[in-house]
Amino acid sequence: MKSIWTAETKIRNRESLPGDIDTEALVIGGGLAGILTAYYLKQAGIDTVVLEADRIGSGQTKNTTAKITSQHGLIYDRLLRTLGSKKAEQYARANENAIDEYEKLIREKEIDCDFVRCPACLYSREEETLLKREAEAAAKLGIKASFEQTDGGLPFYVTGITKFEDQARFHPLKFLERIAEELTVYERTTVLKVESGRAKTDRGNVTARQIVFAAHFPFMNIPGYYFARMYQERSCVIALEGADIPESMYLGIDKNGLSFRPHGEKLLLGGGSHRTGVNKKGGQYEYLLKQARILYPGCKETAHWSAQDCMTPDRIPYIGRFSNRYTDWYVATGFGKWGMTSAMVSARILTALITGRECPEAAVFSPARHLTVQAAGQLVCHGAHTVKGLAGHLLPAGDAGIIPNCPHMGCRLKYNPDEESFDCPCHGSRFDKEGRLLDGPAQTDCRKK
């Protein structure tokens, strides 16, 4: 089923790369991060081209819940403890600035994209201390945050909420389409390989002084080794009619906590988060629907869809130089569940780096940063999943029409009954029932039997 964003927006077709070209900057990926980066580079006077393998916004931008917020689950208390106040502040400021930047851009250009300022709240049904600590940490870092002992309008008992004021929501595809109008974008052009300052595509070569990898999960394994320091998670959303519409956006911090996000007369209810490739039993949409019927008797589901997110071990995106080997390559990935805000953060940071402007916030997002002990532990856990997935490729292939080994690095794919897809538990590539590629980092379809 299509997301409501896709169903409500018509995005015009763009031509494919007409042949070999030269440009100052090349952005690979026509999602929000790529389009915004190209936009700000162009504003800075840099000739920029965007290449998109499919259509703009056809990746994760269309599957988001489109919350623009500096509230990223329980994060600020942890950042303060593990990174110290300077870096925690950089993270908070970059995300708060991103919200303001969206508003500025939308007002300046009079973009009709349902932008609304509203609070974002964390809630719990059993825990109060963590909510209070998070509110205190965020407030210390300059965010308008507080703990309130109220249900905040949710249809069940909660111990309280951690409320961030002045956050926002919008329609991601209406915004994207308008911003992309000012850019040179080639669609249906797949980048096959990048070597130094040249990208080889299925339509011709692009020579560029600066290259930005903004296509969700970097498809180049070496350098960068992002496959070894990131995995992917999936989560589901259902759109409901006939539910009570809250004014704020909410996210539960308990296990199986739900996400609530108003959109006009509809409520977007999210949950069912799981590592890609680990959903053998399925039932994530059924679970959400069951919860919806308990909370809002008589409500009706009008759409459902799912999103795929790149997760880093310390839950901070990788934004900055791709690797030490190529100083003119840049990357924006690992946005976790916070793709809209992180897209703006990365666009601002990458533009600053490319144009040589000061950007103190860049340090905390640098892909070359050292990991905390806690994050290193997550990395070991990710490695264990990969080893298990790789070992699985020796098992009998089953009766699917494809060889269910991932073309990325060979892990055994797992069937996902919710999406009727074959998903890779190692780094999150996905394929449809015919073995056609749905999500990278793999670049090719599965082999047929």
CB of 310 to ligand FES, least distance (A): 12
Nearer to ligand FES, 238 or 406 (CB): 406
Nearer to ligand FES, 48 or 386 (CB): 386
C-alpha of 87 from chain center: 22
Question: Burial code of 20-34, b = ≥16 C-beta within 10 A, e = fewer?
Answer: ebebebbbbbbbbbb
If the CB atoms of residues 224 and 441 are measured against ligand FES, the closer one turns out to be: 441
Using CB under 6 A as the criterion, which residues of the chain lie in contact with ligand FES when the complex forms? 227, 406, 408-409, 411, 424, 426-429, 441-442
Supply the minimum distance, in Å, between the C-beta of residue 73 and ligand FES.
Answer: 25
Residue 13: closest CA among 212, 223, 187, 269: 187
| Distance of closest approach, residue 394 Cβ to ligand FES, in angstroms | 14
304 in Cβ contact with 241 (< 8 Å): no
**If we measure between CA atoms, which residue out of 240, 337, 234 comes closest to residue 282?**
234
Q: Which two tokens stand for residue 94?
A: 């970059």
Q: What gap in Å lies between CA 24 and CA 62, rounded to an integer?
A: 28
Nearest to 243 by CA among 168, 169, 301, 170: 301
- Shortest CB 407 distance to ligand FES, Å: 8
In whole angstroms, what is the distance from residue 167 CA to residue 96 CA?
8
> Shortest distance, CB of residue 30 to ligand FES, whole angstroms?
22
**Beta carbon of residue 405, minimum distance to ligand FES (angstroms, whole number):** 8
- Phi first, then psi, for residue 268 (nearest 5°) are -100, 120
Q: How far apart are the first and last CA of the chain?
A: 29
Q: Which residue, 154 or 442, is less far from ligand FES as judged by CB?
A: 442
116 vs 228 by CB, closer to ligand FES: 228
Shortest Cβ 429–ligand FES spacing (Å): 4
Amino acid at 140: K
Q: Which is nearer to ligand FES, 101 or 423 (CB)?
A: 423
Nearer Cβ to ligand FES (263/412): 412
